[in-house]
Amino acid sequence: MTARDWFDRAQKEGFAIGAFNVDNMDIFKAVCLAGKNKKSSVMLEFSQGEVSYFGLKNIVDLTVNARQEYGIPILLNLDHAKSAEDCIAAVEQAGFDDVHFDGSDLPFEKNVEETKKVVENAHKKGLLVEGEIDKISTLSEVHNEEIDLELLKKSYTDPTKAAKFVKETGVDILAAVFGNVHGIFPVQPDLDIDLLSKIREAVPSCFLSLHGSSGIPADQVKTAINVGKIVKVNLNTELRVAYREAIGEELSENPEEYASYKLASDVILAVAAVVENKIDVFGSAGKI
Ligand code: 13P
């Protein structure tokens, strides 16, 4: 099944596929293991920093090998690429299923122009393209500062603008912004589900993704999947937190161990437990 087939099915059956950021090799293994344990397809995704750590070709080769090793459908996504050229490089590399061109820093017309370039290239090779018009300005980390809700609301997706963007670019997936932010905050903003249903109506033939799912309570994520027919839910910070906590514990429990791979198995299990829980929330368990 292609990524489009998976998302079509997810939309019909009311579940979403987790798009999990891969920060390092332990997290890579944890996501694949969780998918296997839960009989779920998973999407591996790599942000710009994560791509520069792994290298584009390694990412594809590792994913191809993992599909065989774990025996589950593993989709591959380039996450928040800020240049059309980076997206086209991933398209040319072959092995990706989806590229996310994040032109939200650009003026609307320039974003349309660049996104169209990516769509033209990606569609020739059968890849999906995710587009974005609203900037999620926070990083995937644990924040101590409070969110300014009034300011945040200014960056929410305008359904009319979203419809124009989807029509003019031909993107397959839209990264909708309606209270979702990257990272975990002392008080996580609530999702604006009314706005989500308006966005859904405005772009009926486009898949929707939910970025920044770390820290959002499970019931809100489930409602968003249900109301917005969201098919892709991105998760990063909670994986990074689980990894840091687990590696910290391993290092303090094994002060004389210098072979880091010997510490990895418990770390992988700890991160996999988080992914398994998310797979349950997203509803993709048992779908393969
Ligand atoms: P979180 O770090 O909030 O989970 O967001 C990740 C994300 O949306 C990556 O695109």
Q: Which residue has the tokens 């809100």?
A: 220
Domain span at residue 132 reads 3-282
Atom of ligand 1 minimally distant from the CA of 180: 3
Give the helix/strand (H/E) hosting 221: helix 218-228
CATH number for position 109: 3.20.20.70
State in Å: Cα 153 to ligand 1 middle: 18
Q: Does residue 161 form part of some domain?
A: yes
Of all protein residues, the one whose alpha carbon is nearest to atom 5 of ligand 1 is 212
Please say whether the beta carbons of 271 and 27 come within 8 A: yes
Residue 18 confidence (pLDDT) above 90: yes
Q: Does residue 261 form part of some domain?
A: yes
**Count of domains forming the chain:** 1
Question: For 22-39, how does the pLDDT look when each residue is reduced to its tens digit (9 = 90+)?
Answer: 999 999 999 999 999 999
Residue 179 pLDDT class (50, 70, 90 cuts): very high
Please say whether the beta carbons of 260 and 246 come within 8 A: no
Of all protein residues, the one whose alpha carbon is nearest to atom 1 of ligand 1 is 212
Give catalytic residue positions: 79
Question: For 92-143, how does the pLDDT look when each residue is reduced to its tens digit (9 = 90+)?
Answer: 988 999 999 999 999 999 999 999 999 999 999 999 999 999 988 899 999 9
State in Å: Cα 231 to ligand 1 middle: 15
Q: Does residue 137 form part of some domain?
A: yes
Q: Does residue 16 form part of some domain?
A: yes
Q: Does residue 288 form part of some domain?
A: no
Q: 224-244 burial, b if ≥16 CB within 10 A, otherwise e? A: bbeebbbbbbbbbbbbbbbbe
Q: Does residue 216 form part of some domain?
A: yes
pLDDT of residue 136: 87
Beta bridge partners of 176: 210
Report the pocket of ligand 1 as residue ranges, CB < 6 Å: 21, 79-80, 140, 182-183, 211-214, 234-237
Q: Does residue 287 form part of some domain?
A: no
Please say whether the beta carbons of 277 and 40 come within 8 A: no
Question: For 35-86, how does the pLDDT look when each residue is reduced to its tens digit (9 = 90+)?
Answer: 999 999 999 999 999 999 999 999 999 999 999 999 999 999 999 999 999 9
